[in-house]
Amino acid sequence: MLIAMDAQHQLVNAATADRQIEYYCPGCVQPVRLKRGGSDRATFCPRPCHGL
């Protein structure tokens, strides 16, 4: 997923997200973790959810 929600319920793009901050799925409010590995495209774990 490329969009997640922070503790202030702001939607954040993975590309501009901060690794230090906890993010949640906007759909099911499950905690998601920022993943910025070898690829240049940052995403949120675990997997695409709600079409995000």
Indicate the residue among 9 and 38 with the shorter CB distance to Zn ion. 9
- Long-range contacts (CB closer than 8 Å, 24 or more residues apart) made by 42-45: 42/2, 42/14, 42/15, 42/17, 43/1, 43/2, 43/14, 44/1, 44/2, 44/3, 44/4, 44/14, 44/17
Residues that bind Zn ion (CB under 5 A): 25, 27-28, 49
Indicate the residue among 3 and 38 with the shorter CB distance to Zn ion. 3
Indicate the residue among 27 and 31 with the shorter CB distance to Zn ion. 27
Q: Closest separation between CB of residue 46 and Zn ion, Å?
A: 9
